[in-house]
Every structure is written in structure tokens, then in C-alpha cells.
Chains A and B, each alone.
Chain A
Amino acid sequence: MSAAAPSGPGAEVPLLELRGVTAGYGRIQVLHGVDLVVPRGEVVALLGPNGAGKTTTLLVATGQHPVSSGCVHVAGRHVNGVRAEELARLGLCTIPEGRGVFRSLTVRENLRMASYRGVDESLLVERAVARFPRLGERLGQVAGTLSGGEQQMLAMARGLATDPALLIIDELSMGLAPLIVAELYELVAGIAREGVSILVVEQFARTVLGVADRAVIMQHGQVVAAGVPADLEAELSAAYLGASP
């Protein structure tokens, strides 16, 4: 799946690569050898039905869940066992499932938290407000009182203000109105055009496929198909509906 030998120093090395990753909870194994690649500057959609192992894959990739076997590489470096906060400080930005905001902190304090990733605090607010003017009006408001869409915006604003190398988004659309989802995905496309590599995990395939450069379909803890979205129609139906391709 990945390019075998690099032609220059790190030129072809994907930003994120999972290789034969297995992981589980207690005695139950959830991932059975997952291979996944996010090449530089691309948007990759990770799709699959409920219980396919998407979220576990994401947890493993972001250092939130231990790997039983296999390796996780970030920009070619082996990062098994590196803690989530350390990966975050490297430049891996994760927006977790269901509104990644600190609900009891104000908008400004939420933005401020990103300064642990090494960006100056005032710069953070400036960048976030430049991207989402609506947040500028609510800097003093407690994040838990924002609307769902605004919370998702805040989570993205906080992530993007740190200039991440890789953005990982889990279930962006969860619990949001379709209009807002469309708006948010437009934003994702815009970010991608700036050169940020993005891994989007989604249960509902259609929304994300318009934005993704490539898609990976998971089922039963394994990758069953990967490629350009247009080529994956048949596999998608199979994965979601159980029909054979």
C-alpha cells in the first residue's frame, strides 16, 4: 500500500502509517491486523459500519490505546507506546468523537489549552477568530452552552490554530444537522487545500466521500478495501448492507 523505498529523505514516507496493528479490550481482540496509510497532504476517509473498529483504530493511532502487536508510524518514526499528549505536542491534532471541547471552560480558555502544543496563547485566539469570526463574539462564554455546531467549530478552531501536521477527526457529523455537517466538511476541504493531511473517521459514508482523496473501508476489525472513493462503491454497499460485491 505504501511506497516501498523513499526517493528523498522522507519524501514518500506517509504521515501516518499503521502496519498489522492488533488491539483489543481485555480478552476481546477488536483489531485484527489493520494496515492504514495517510499520505502527506491527502484526506483519507476511514469508513465502516458500527463496530467495525474505526474508533479503536483511531485511538491506537493517537496513542490513546495500546497496541497489542504491529506498529504505528508517524512520519516514518515508530511511535508505539508514545503517550497521547506527547503525540499531540508533536503536531498530531485529534478532534474526538462528539464535540471535543471542555464544556466547563470558556471559549477563550478552551483555545488557551492548545498552547500546550507550543503555540503562543494570544496567537491561538487570533488565528481561531480569523477562521471562525463567530467564536470571536463568544470568547467569554462557557463552551458547554454553545450550540452543537459551534462546539464542533471550537474544537476544530482549537486544533487548527496550532498548525497541525495531521488532523484526525472522529465522527464529525455525529448529532449535527445535515446543513451544519455540509458546512463543516466544506471547511475540512479548505483545510486540506492548505496542505494539512487529514484522517476522517465516519460512519456515514456519503458526506465524507466528496472531500476524501482516498477511502479505507473497515469491517470486523480489518481493512476490507482501500482506494479512490469512486472505485469503492461496491465495497461500501457490501460493508454497510452485507451484500456481496
Chain B
Amino acid sequence: MNDLLSLLVLGLASAAIYAVAASGLVVTYTTSGIFNFAHGAVAMVSAFVYWQLSSPDAWGLPVPVALVLTLFVFAPGLGWGIDRLLMRRLHDASPMIRIVVPIGLLVALIQVATVIWPPGELTASVPLFFAGRSVELGGVVIEYHQLVVFAAAIAVAIGLRILLYGTRIGVAMRAVVDSRELAALNGVSPDRVSGLAWALGCSLAALAGILVAPILKLDQTQLTLLVINAYAVAMVGRLRSLPMAAVGAVILGLSREAASRYDESLPFWITKDTVPALMLFVVLLVVPQEKASVFRDQPDRSSVPDPSWRTVVLGCIGLVVAALVVPAVFEGRTLDAVGYGMALSIVALSLVPLTGFAGQISLAPLAFAGIGAVVMYRWGSDGNPLALVAVVALCAAVGALVALPALRLKGLYLALSTFAFALFCEKAVFPNVDEFSQGDASYERLHLGPWTAASDRSYLVLLTVAFVVLALGVTALRRGPMGRRLQAMKDSPAACATMGLDLTALKLEVFALSAAIAGLGGALLGGWRGKLGTEQFSLLAGALPGLPLVLLTVVGGIAAVSGALVGGLALAMFPEIAEAVPALANLMTVLPGLAGISLAANPDGAVAQTVAQVGAAIERLRGQAPPRDTGPARALALLAPAAPSMVPERIAVGASAAGVDLAAVDDETGLAWGRCRVDP
């Protein structure tokens, strides 16, 4: 009985933290339509800021002052800034950009926090509130900190209820969700409302971070990951309902606690670490996806480039030649990074047909690569090339298997389900292979009969040729019937269905194909590195390669094979550049996240954008293209009124510039000019 009661108390205490975190997610999602992947990172950064302010080892401010500064100054400011600089640009962006930019923010925040508070040099910890004090209830000791957590969760629940239903600004927040345009037509400033919502959401994240920090070690990824548990919780309420999110929090809190308590009697894949991923996956499948989003589903306008065969083949030849030359010029770490980058490029290539052509967003390419590496370790660690066949077959099967339940998901829901899958692999699949979990799975280089790709040069050429062959295959796919079908599916699934296209089969095919390519990349990486482990394939641990790979590929241009090459090589080379030029070290650490964030401005990817701009400039030089749009300039020239009755006065409503206050309400027109100021 006592046992059960203590499980209940501990479970509910974590549930309370999840509920606080999830309510922040719900608030930002409902008001902006953007799922804040960076929610956990905001919580983590806020916890660090709180530590910085309050810890006797740092600035040593009194706890209440530090709390107020973190919760009511830093976090809201951060949220407002995020909205102002990034999220506001995303209203018309495609679903992919709306997912990738917050992920960029997530990665950037973790990386910035690592730069400011280096994990190796700093052992920071946040004490419990009222540490050491507790009450006893029915034989169970409840710490004061847990009581604080309960109180905070209840206060947040009541406060949000009053705010959203009882106040005008709260109603306005909900109104903006319904229709930004209509809200504006009623005099609400949607930008101001969404800025407020982000400020509030980030404050709630900060509260969750501060409450959870004393329980965990103050660590960038641990803290971030813990708040990511709130994804599953918020999803129970379809990211909209706060009461349902609270129910989800209780379910997750209790089931995690139960899983950690009865670990022995459960199957290996149910642990306290896998429960959130499993719950997220199950909830995504069980909870019906919104039929029609209140945020108008923006069509994916990202262009799919169609390079000529000549360009592609020339590029491929150049790449192979480069692979022959590079080992003569570079050696040691740099050469190692080039090969690593080449293998990562193969993994990134798996995203080109899946996300680039078909618009199916996957965050799990490295998880599939990890599965490929595990399979290779089992059957081909001696360098037997036949094992690659097993890798391809098994990864394709797993890819299709994962896709099967996820078939009806799209956009954000699909991205989250692949996220859950990647977390699951990281927590349950990879740790289950002992050597792999210790980073000690060793691989021989591939051999074919008597010939072995023993030297670095031959193996690099092998990797490059593998990339080139796959890239040519993907290009052929793009130009063939399947490529057309994939793009048609991305443009309009409904139109495809009416034409009799079997979307189920098509999705399964492309998921299987993508998983097979990623698996091949992972398997080939084994031979290059010699040893592999979970860390190389994790989403958020260590060097957190998983999400940055997706980010950099999108930045490189996810719809082109060149984008995959850019993404893979960039991810591998950034640490090398940091090593070579110490002045750039911090920049290189933060760069993948920043690159992801930059997509808010260039949705087609920086590389594609640059190519397009250069192309347009060349055409302009040749005089073939229309001149650049000079709309604003022309408009300015025409500002002068045409008739004497018109006095052109620029009205800057609410501007603080000194202006002439007009009469409160114009008797003639009934217009309330009084609240406007006319620029002198």
C-alpha cells in the first residue's frame, strides 16, 4: 500500500512538471500554429540562467530575485524575441519549414548553452526548494519541493483557465487561433498577441525547467530531453486542450514511475526512458489528426530542382576525382572527417526522395543509419559485402514497418512520430547491443574476394562511388514516373487519390527506399570509422548529430542530391574547422542551429536560394529576365495625390513620434482619428 502511495506521489510530482511544460507548448501552438520543438531547450537555458543568477558559485542573488528575473524577465523576453525574429515569418511557410526552424532553434539553444556553460568544466546543480524539509502522509515522505511542484502546476492550470476564458486578451489569443485576418479586422494586433503567447509559453517552459533542474543534474541534453517528454503529454490534448494535456501528464508520470519500479518484470523495450517515446508514438496513432487545420494548410511551395543529366554526371565525376585527390592532400583527423562526411551524405541522401520529393518529413535518418550499422555489425563486421544486402533488406523492411502505422500521419504529426521512433531506437534498440552501446562495435573494411578496401584512399573512393551511384539513382527516380508520383503526392494527395494512385503503396515504397539508403550509409560508416556506437546515431546525445543532419540537409536544399552532400560534409567538417581555427570554434558549434534558423528567411535552403539568385543575376546581365520588382519604389513615386482634395498624410497609428492629436471622433465621418497620430 505504502509502495503504491509513494509511486503515486512520485508519479504525480513528475506529472505536475510535465503538465506545466505541456501547457506552455499548448499555449504557443494554439496561438501561432507552430509546434515549439525548442520548448525543452528554452526550459534548459532558463534553468541555467536561474543557476547563474542564484547559485553561490555564480552570481549568488537571493532565490526569489533570481526566480522573478528568470520567470518574468528572461524567459518572456526570450519568447518575445523568438516570435519577433523567427516565428512571425513562418505564417505562410510550408509545413516543413514550420517544423525545421523550431528544430534549428532547439539545436542552437543547446549549442549556445554548451558554449556558455561548458559541460566539462562546470558542475552546476540547483538545490531543491526547501531542501531537507518534508511532511509525512500515510507513511509516505513528501518533500516540500514536491509540494511546490504541485502548487505550481495547480496555479498554472487555474491561471491559464482564467486568462484564456476570462480576460479580453485571452479571448483575443483564442480568436487569433481561429483567424488571424479576422482578428485584425476586429482591431486585434495578431503580432502582439502571438508575441505575448510566446512570452507566456517560454515562461511556462522556464518554470518547468527550474522545477525539474534540482531533480536532475544540470546538463544540456538531459534537461532538454526531459521536457521533450511533454511532447507526448501535449499530444494527448491534440496540442490544443489543456485539461487533456493534464490527463496525459498524469498518465506519463505514473507510467514512467511504474516502469522504473517494475523494470525487472517488463520487456527490455519498456523502460522509464522509452515510455515517453512509446507514448508519443501511440498517442499520435490513436488520437485523431486534426481534420482541417485552423491554420490554413499552406501548400508546400518548395521547388524540386530538375538538373540536367550533364550537370549531375559532371558533378559525380568531379566528386570521384576529388575523392582520389583528397587523401594525398589531407591526412589524420581531416581525412577522417571527409570520409565521415561522405558516409553522412549517403544518410542525408535518404531524405531527398522522402522529404524533398514526397514531402514526408522524417527526423529519423540517423536512426535508420544506426540500424544499418547494427545489422552490419552482426553479419558483416568482418567486411563481408554480402552483409550489405542484409542491411538494405532489413532497413527497407523496418522503414516500411515504421511507415505502416504512420501512413495516415502527415506534416507535424509524421515528423513527431519519426522523432519518437528515433528516440526509441536510441533508448531501446541500440543499448540492447552491448558493444554498440559502449561505442565499441568494431568493423573490418569491406573486401571483395582478394581485394580489400584497406587504404583510406580506396575506402574513401568506395564511399564516394557509393554516394555517386545512389545519387544517380535518386536523380533517375526524380526524372522517372515514381518521381512524378512522389511530387504529385506532395502537391495534392487528394488529387492523386482521385486519379486512382495507390498512396499507401507509394508511401511504403518511399519510406522503405529511404530507410535502405540511410542504413547503407550507416553500414559503410562502420568500415571507415572502425568502431561505432550509439552516440554516432543519437538524436540528442553527445554531439547530437541526428537533428543537425536534417537541418543542414534542408539548408543545403533537401530536394537535390547536392543538398545531401552539403549537409553531410558540413556536419562532419564543422568540428574540424573549429579545431583548425580556434577563433571560430564557438561559431562552428552554433552554426548548424543557426543555419536551421536561417530557413525562416530562405525556405528553399540557402544553397538553392544562392543558386537561384546567381542564375537570375546572370539572366539579368544577358537581358533575358524581367527587371527586379521595384514595387515599393514605384509606389513611393506615386504617393503624391492626384486631386487637390487629397492631402497625403501618412498615418502612423500608435507611433510615439511627436504628432498632432486630432479631434477624438470626426463628427463628419464618425471615424475615430483621435487614437491615431498624423506624422507632421
Please give the residue numbers on chain A whose beta carbons come within 8 Å of chain B beta carbons, in ascending order. Answer: 2-6, 9-13, 15, 17, 19-20, 27, 40, 62, 64, 67-71, 73-86, 88-94, 96, 100-105, 109, 112-118, 121, 158, 163-166
Contacts and interface: CB of A to CB of B under 8 A. Distances in A.
Interface stretch (B186-194, B431-439, B571-579): B186-194
A84 B634 CA distance: 22
Contacts of A20: 638, 642
Q: Which 8 residue pairs across A and B have the least CB separation, nearest first?
A: A116-B187, A165-B670, A86-B653, A102-B178, A78-B648, A84-B184, A88-B187, A89-B187
Interface stretch (B72-80, B124-132, B168-176, B254-262): B168-176
Contacts of B186: 85, 88, 113-114, 116-117, 158
Contact of B646 (A19, A102, A158): A19
Contacts of B668: 9-11, 40, 75
25 contacts: A5-B644, A9-B668, A17-B646, A19-B643, A27-B629, A40-B668, A68-B634, A69-B634, A70-B638, A71-B648, A75-B666, A75-B671, A82-B653, A83-B189, A84-B185, A85-B183, A85-B186, A89-B653, A96-B181, A102-B183, A104-B177, A104-B294, A116-B188, A118-B675, A165-B670
Contacts of B637: 69
Interface in B614-659: 626, 629, 631, 634-635, 637-639, 641-651, 653-654
Contacts of B184: 64, 83-85, 88
A62 B187 CA distance: 12
Nearest to A82: B651
A82 B654 CA distance: 11
Interface in B16-31: none
A40 B644 contact: no
Contacts of B646: 17, 19, 71, 73, 76, 78
Contacts of B647: 76-78
B117 interface: no
Interface string B653-680: 1100000000000101111110110100
B168 A115 contact: yes
A10 B669 contact: yes
Nearest to A15: B669
B182 interface: yes
Given A2-B645, A4-B645, A85 B187 contact: yes
A112 B182 contact: no
Contacts of B188: 85, 113, 116
A83 B646 CA distance: 20
Contacts of A13: 645
A2 B644 CA distance: 11
Contacts of B384: none
Contacts of A103: 178, 294
B188 to A, nearest CB: 5
From DSSP, what is the main secondary structure of chain B's interface residues? loop
B185 A88 contact: yes
A56 to B, nearest CB: 14
Nearest to A12: B645
A8 to B, nearest CB: 9
A77 B635 CA distance: 17
Interface residues of B, number: 50
A85 B641 CA distance: 24
Contact of A79 (B172, B645, B651, B669): B651
A69 B204 CA distance: 45
B179 interface: yes
B137 to A, nearest CB: 41
A62 B43 CA distance: 40
From DSSP, what is the main secondary structure of chain A's interface residues? loop
Given A67-B635, A68-B631, A68-B635, A76 B645 contact: yes
B676 A86 contact: yes
Nearest to B185: A94
Contacts of A117: 186-187
B638 A118 contact: no
Nearest to B169: A116
Contacts of A163: 670
A5 B642 CA distance: 12
Of the candidates A77, A118, A165, the one having the most CB atoms from chain B within 10 angstroms of its own CB is: A77
Contacts of B649: 77-78
A96 B185 contact: yes
B650 A78 contact: yes
Of the candidates B174, B641, B666, the one having the most CB atoms from chain A within 10 angstroms of its own CB is: B666
Contacts of B645: 2-6, 12-13, 76
Given A78-B649, A90-B671, A84 B181 contact: yes
Contacts of A166: 671
Nearest to B240: A104
Given A10-B669, A85-B187, A113-B172, A80 B635 contact: yes
A165 B673 CA distance: 11
Contacts of A94: 185
A112 B648 contact: no
B671 A62 contact: no
Nearest to A79: B651
Nearest to B170: A109
A104 B240 CA distance: 12
Contact of B175 (A86, A89, A105): A105
Nearest to A143: B178
B185 A100 contact: yes
A165 to B, nearest CB: 4
Contacts of A112: 168, 171
A19 B670 contact: no
Nearest to A74: B671
A109 B638 contact: no
Given A10-B666, A68-B634, A89-B675, A77 B651 contact: yes
A159 B555 CA distance: 45
A84 B646 CA distance: 21
Contacts of A19: 641-643, 646
Nearest to B189: A85
A77 to B, nearest CB: 5
Of the candidates B178, B186, B634, the one having the most CB atoms from chain A within 10 angstroms of its own CB is: B186
B183 A113 contact: yes
Of the candidates A3, A104, A158, the one having the most CB atoms from chain B within 10 angstroms of its own CB is: A104
Interface in B247-289: none
A18 to B, nearest CB: 11
A27 B628 CA distance: 10
Interface string B334-349: 0000000000000000
Contacts of A101: 182
A72 to B, nearest CB: 11
B666 A105 contact: no
Contacts of A81: 650
Contacts of B635: 67-70, 80
A104 B673 CA distance: 32
B672 A91 contact: yes
Contact of B672 (A2, A70, A90, A114): A90
